[in-house]
Amino acid sequence: MSGEKKTWMRQPIIVVLGHVDHGKTTLLDKIRGTAVARKEPGEITQHVGASVVPASVLKKLAEPLRKYFPKLVIEIPGLLFIDTPGHELFSNLRKRGGSVADMAILVVDIIEGFQPQTVEAINILKEKKVPFVVAANKIDRIEGWKPHADTPFLESIRDQSPRTLSLLEEKIYGLVGKLYEHGFEAERFDRVRDFRRTVAIVPISAKTGEGIPELLALIAGLSQQFMKKRLVTSEEPAKGVVLEVKEEPGLGTTIDVIIYDGVLRRNDVFVVAGRNGPIVTRVRSLLMPRPLQDMRMHEGRFINVDLVTAATGVKVAAPGLEDALAGSPFYVVPSDDKVEEYKRITQEEVSQIRFRAESDGVVLKADTLGTLEALIEAMRRENIPVKLADVGHVTRNDVIEASVVKKSKPEYGVILSFNVKVLPEAEELIAKEGIPVFKHNVIYQLLEEYFKWYREFKEQEKTRIMESLVRPGKIRVIPGAVFRRSEPAIVGVEVLGGRIKPNYPLMTSDGRSIGTVMQIRDRDNVLKEAIVGQQVAISIKGKVMVGRHIDEGDILYTDIPRDHVRLWLTTFNSELSDDEKLVLKEIISIKRKSDPLYGMVFTA
Ligand code: GDP
């Protein structure tokens, strides 16, 4: 023994994301099918929760591409694809400051183009700093496309009509434009000069298999070129992430783990996060899917193995995993004296995701650490504070938290629940306190529902505040239209600018206050307001006598309070009409004579 630890380059871990129905599942099926059909005898392609495309298959697929990419040599042992596509599972591949996924394929239906979940995927990938390629899927649906099963894209296009090719180009440029809007330079893969700066778009058909060789070769090429360091692993204690927690007949609660670093052995002691704190336990068995050809009725779906090496997807059976949380880090403890240290590391990591803050904010409940973290991050993007974030069903206590928030910040006094139940004990209180609860098992739809409600709430609140403000108004007392001299004075007025409403305070053109508008009438009709150009009769509340305080022909203005004028000049400025803005200017210059700071807006 030299004492040197064995090191090797592991398979990059790849995820598939994209909008619903854009072809993620079909693509993964195609990739799996390709791997099985072309693998060497004895090569294992099936892991738990993942599938491998071995190097031998990548080499075969890359062979016909040699004339286009002569330098392509496969050095990695293969590609590990996470079997379940989509954002929910991706979010469980969480790792502090990033993702366990090394690279992503963003599937976009070339006919439909960008959709909401495409944008969501891009945001998540950006945030997690996961590089990606775009698979522009369903090219076989482009008008006039002649399919060539399982052929490289660059071969297939040689047999397409000029019209079909120009339709394809148009679609690809549509995607290039969309990606640009989201901050990415993009180009069809064979035209990319610098893959570090440009996102490659590979036109494919998950149905016919066209473009799949290029897609796989490209991912292999990019990962071995740009993430060599990240892919080197050694005989260290394993590190991984819990993808799913599953009940298995005869095995109890098991965890499906993606190991991205090191070696995991039977009997290893490991730590994962549990509902009630870190769980320390020992591997009882490591299980891999039984190869299809050895499936026998009386045997289980899994085979026992002594050890697994990164990168791999493996099922771990161990005592005490009932409370384990999906999305949790998985650490093998290197030695007995390190147990406390690893518990602390795990706990620290989880406390970033499960927390209760003192400030007002929304309540988030989700089924796994990963989806909970995805919700927290989405809230951060929108600058919405979080009061409480936790894994588990919605309880009475959650409702109490939300109802306290509701009292001071009603826009945050809500509960967002992802893929968990609202317990009956909570239901009653929800109804009583009138707490809005948003539920959905698609993350972006859950967020959309809340954000829509939030925007509407803010809009209503804005309207409510605006309704309470005194608007600019300028009127003239019509000569010969004094109907009553005092208590209350009733005069005919013409609105020269802006508007008046009942309860608006009035002032003269030299800033003297003269009561408030009591009622506005147009003959027998009582009006809610009178706007520029209207002639109406108004009664004035307060000690106002025509002939003493005001006269026929006088110009009067609405007497806008200081804090109202500030809002008109800032938040609500765009809500004023042009004539209201002119009147506001006049009011400000009148008021400044006695109050020099009136209508001053100070910015920090
Ligand atoms: P997912 O929701 O993203 O996983 O999408 P699916 O893989 O379930 O695909 C949605 C639909 O699109 C299915 O009916 C597929 O058969 C179809 N589909 C997927 N890929 C292709 C493709 O390349 N060409 C065509 N014509 N149809 C496709």
- Per-residue pLDDT tens over the stretch 341-361: 999 999 999 999 999 999 999
For residue 42, the model assigns a pLDDT of 83
How does the average pLDDT of the chain come out, rounded? 94
Asked if residue 292 has pLDDT above 80, the reply is no
The pLDDT of 454-480, averaged and rounded, is: 95
Residue 537's nearest CA partner among 603, 596, 461, 484 is 484
What is the reported pTM? 0.83
Which amino acid would we find at residue 552? Answer: E
Beta pairing, strands 269-274 & 329-332: antiparallel
For residue 386, the model assigns a pLDDT of 98
The pLDDT of 266-281, averaged and rounded, is: 97
Which CATH architecture group holds 235-340?
Beta Barrel (2.40)
Q: Is 87 in the pocket of ligand 1 (CB under 6 A)?
A: no
Which numeric CATH code is attached to 473-593?
2.40.30.10
Cβ atoms of 235 and 262 within 8 Å: the answer is yes
Distance of alpha carbon 172 from alpha carbon 202, whole angstroms? 9
Choice from 15, 17, 21 to test ligand 1 binding pocket (greatest atom count within 8 A of CB): 21
Going by C-beta distance under 8 Å and a sequence separation of 6 or more, which residues neighbour residue 26?
A: 137, 206, 207
Show which residues are catalytic. 87
* Gap from CA of 178 to ligand 1 centroid (Å): 21
Cβ atoms of 510 and 590 within 8 Å: the answer is yes
* Gap from CA of 228 to ligand 1 centroid (Å): 33
Choice from 15, 19, 20, 26 to test ligand 1 binding pocket (greatest atom count within 8 A of CB): 26
* Gap from CA of 182 to ligand 1 centroid (Å): 25
530 bridge partner residues = 500
For residue 1, the model assigns a pLDDT of 45
For residue 148, the model assigns a pLDDT of 96
258 bridge partner residues = 241, 313
Q: Is 83 in the pocket of ligand 1 (CB under 6 A)?
A: no
Task: Give the model's confidence band at 297: pLDDT under 50 very low, under 70 low, under 90 confident, else very high.
Answer: low
Annotated binding site: 18-25, 83-87, 137-140
CATH 3.40.50.10050 given to domain 353-466:
yes
Q: Name the least confident of 34-43, 142-151, 174-183, 406-415.
A: 34-43
pLDDT in tens, 564-592: 999 999 999 999 999 999 999 999 999 99
The distance from CA 228 to its chain's CA centroid, rounded to whole angstroms, is: 30
* Gap from CA of 215 to ligand 1 centroid (Å): 17
The pLDDT of 175-195, averaged and rounded, is: 96
Structural domain boundaries in the chain: 7-232, 235-340, 353-466, 473-593
Q: Residue 527: is it exposed, middle or buried by C-beta count within 10 angstroms (0-12/13-18/19+)?
A: middle
Annotated binding site for GTP: 18-25, 83-87, 137-140
pLDDT in tens, 501-544: 999 999 999 999 999 999 999 999 999 999 999 999 999 999 89
> In sequence order, what E strands does 19-156 have?
50-54, 78-82, 94-95, 98-99, 103-109, 132-137
Q: Is 209 in the pocket of ligand 1 (CB under 6 A)?
A: no
Kindly state which CATH superfamily the domain 7-232 is placed in.
P-loop containing nucleotide triphosphate hydrolases (3.40.50.300)
* Gap from CA of 20 to ligand 1 centroid (Å): 9
pLDDT in tens, 57-83: 999 998 888 888 777 889 999 999 999
For residue 86, the model assigns a pLDDT of 87
Distance of alpha carbon 384 from alpha carbon 377, whole angstroms? 10
For residue 71, the model assigns a pLDDT of 79
Of 293 and 391, the structure prediction assigns the larger pLDDT to 391
For residue 3, the model assigns a pLDDT of 59
Q: Is 207 in the pocket of ligand 1 (CB under 6 A)?
A: yes
Residue 3: left if φ>0, alpha if ψ -120 to 50, beta else—which one?
Answer: left
For residue 432, the model assigns a pLDDT of 96
Ligand 1 atom with the smallest distance to the CA of 206 is 23
The DSSP H or E segment spanning 501 is none
Ligand 1 atom with the smallest distance to the CA of 205 is 23
Alpha carbon distances (Å) from 101 to 81, 126, 221, 348, 547: 9, 13, 16, 22, 83
Q: Name the least confident of 86-90, 238-242, 475-479.
A: 86-90
The pLDDT of 428-440, averaged and rounded, is: 96
**Token pair for 425:** 């004990």
For residue 206, the model assigns a pLDDT of 98
The DSSP secondary-structure symbol of 359 reads: S
For residue 44, the model assigns a pLDDT of 84
Going by C-beta distance under 8 Å and a sequence separation of 6 or more, which residues neighbour residue 161?
A: 144
Ligand 1 atom with the smallest distance to the CA of 26 is 7
Q: What is the rounded radius of gyration, in angstroms, for the C-alpha atoms of the chain?
A: 34
Q: Is 21 in the pocket of ligand 1 (CB under 6 A)?
A: yes
ipTM higher than the 0.90 cut: yes
Task: Give the model's confidence band at 402: pLDDT under 50 very low, under 70 low, under 90 confident, else very high.
Answer: very high
Ligand 1 atom with the smallest distance to the CA of 137 is 23
**Token pair for 120:** 């969501």
- Collapsing DSSP to helix, strand or coil, 430 comes out as helix
Cβ atoms of 568 and 469 within 8 Å: the answer is yes
For residue 296, the model assigns a pLDDT of 56
Q: Is 419 in the pocket of ligand 1 (CB under 6 A)?
A: no
For residue 28, the model assigns a pLDDT of 97
Task: Give the model's confidence band at 171: pLDDT under 50 very low, under 70 low, under 90 confident, else very high.
Answer: very high
Is there a common fold for 7-232 and 353-466? yes
Going by C-beta distance under 8 Å and a sequence separation of 6 or more, which residues neighbour residue 165?
A: 157
